[in-house]
């Protein structure tokens, strides 16, 4: 099977940066968690793991994720309750659980999970489902609205008061990162890694310059807030 977990994004300096999907595994069985992370990493994904629901909440508040694979029977916060936190962060969910009764499957899918697999499972099947969920979510036309600013993600178009605003690739990617994670505080180092990629070795001042451009072009001086000695956040009330 061929998987295509990566995006190629052209940077403002003309360098082609590869963006890797970030997957969070929430599983209290370490052997299963290790197996998942190993195979996802081999397939080209960045994988982090939490062994209980409380830790998972802390992790999604600190870092953005493109997908979460959740067990249901978890310590602290179970998988069904944890889904609500994932939904707030717009993180699609695949359930991977030993609960194979129809009631649990129906509940998981009805509350909004993208897929539901039962244990024991085939790693190859899971990888295919991960790929399909990510592609499906990527292809959806997401429109974000902030006061007078509108972002059409699928078309990569940004409007201010109905008028098109031209953004360079890194300006657009930075804006989208902030918009998709409202009220989340990002350090400059985090934004460099997530937007410019691991292979960019410029200074954090690059982030400051791009933030200033977004504030000016989109009249977002009051929305994109500087967090003293940390970084930035998009403030949404």
Q: What percent of the chain has a predicted confidence (pLDDT) above 70?
A: 89
- More confidently predicted of 104 and 200: 104
Q: Is the pLDDT of residue 193 over 70?
A: yes
pLDDT beyond 70 at 215: yes
Q: What is the pLDDT of residue 94?
A: 97
To the nearest whole number, what is the mean pLDDT of the chain?
Answer: 86
pLDDT score, position 16: 30
Q: pLDDT: is 108 or 8 the higher one?
A: 108
pLDDT computed for residue 139 by the predictor: 62
Span 135-141, average pLDDT = 70
| 153 against 70, higher pLDDT | 70
What pLDDT, in 10s, does the model give residues 11-46? Answer: 333 323 345 789 999 999 999 999 999 999 999 999
Q: What is the mean pLDDT of residues 69-77?
A: 93
pLDDT number for residue 41? 93
Q: Can you tell me the mean pLDDT for 175-179? A: 94
The residue ranking higher by pLDDT, 144 or 14, is 144
User: Is the domain defined by 6-139 classed in CATH 3.40.50.2300?
Assistant: yes
CA distance 52 to 47: 16
Higher per-residue pLDDT: 107 or 140: 107
Domain ranges for the chain, please list them.
6-139, 143-234
* Cis? peptide before 28, omega within 30° of 0: no
CA distances 58 to 54, 64, 73, 162, 194, Å, are: 7, 11, 18, 37, 18
pTM of the model: 0.58
Contact residues for 209 (Cβ-Cβ < 8 A; gap 6+): none
Question: In Å, how far are 14, 159, 176, 203, 219 from 147, measured between CA atoms?
Answer: 32, 11, 15, 32, 10
Determine the topology of domain 143-234 in CATH.
Arc Repressor Mutant, subunit A (1.10.10)
Residue 172 has pLDDT above 90, yes or no: yes
What was the pLDDT predicted at 237?
78
């Amino acid at each position: 099977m061929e998987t295509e977990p990566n995006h190629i994004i052209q940077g403002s300096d003309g360098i082609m940066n590869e963006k890797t999907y970030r997957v969070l595994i929430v599983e209290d069985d370490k052997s299963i968690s290790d197996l998942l992370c190993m195979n996802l990493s081999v397939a080209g994904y960045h994988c982090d793991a939490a062994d209980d629901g409380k830790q998972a909440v802390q992790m999604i508040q600190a870092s953005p994720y493109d997908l979460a694979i959740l067990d249901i029977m978890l310590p602290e916060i179970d998988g069904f309750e944890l889904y609500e936190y994932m939904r707030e962060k717009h993180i699609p969910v695949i359930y991977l659980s030993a609960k194979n009764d129809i009631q649990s499957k129906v509940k998981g899918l009805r509350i909004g999970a993208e897929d539901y697999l039962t244990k024991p499972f085939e790693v190859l099947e899971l990888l295919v489902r991960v790929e399909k969920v990510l592609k499906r979510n990527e292809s959806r036309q997401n429109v974000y609205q902030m006061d007078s600013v509108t972002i059409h993600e699928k078309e990569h178009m940004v409007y201010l008061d109905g008028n098109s605003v031209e953004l360079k690739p890194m300006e657009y990617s930075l804006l989208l990162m902030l918009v998709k994670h409202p009220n989340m505080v990002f350090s400059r180092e985090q934004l460099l890694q997530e937007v410019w990629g691991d292979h960019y070795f410029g200074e954090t001042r690059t982030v400051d310059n791009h933030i200033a451009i977004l504030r000016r072009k989109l009249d977002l001086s009051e929305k994109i807030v500087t967090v003293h000695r940390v970084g930035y956040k998009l403030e949404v009330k």
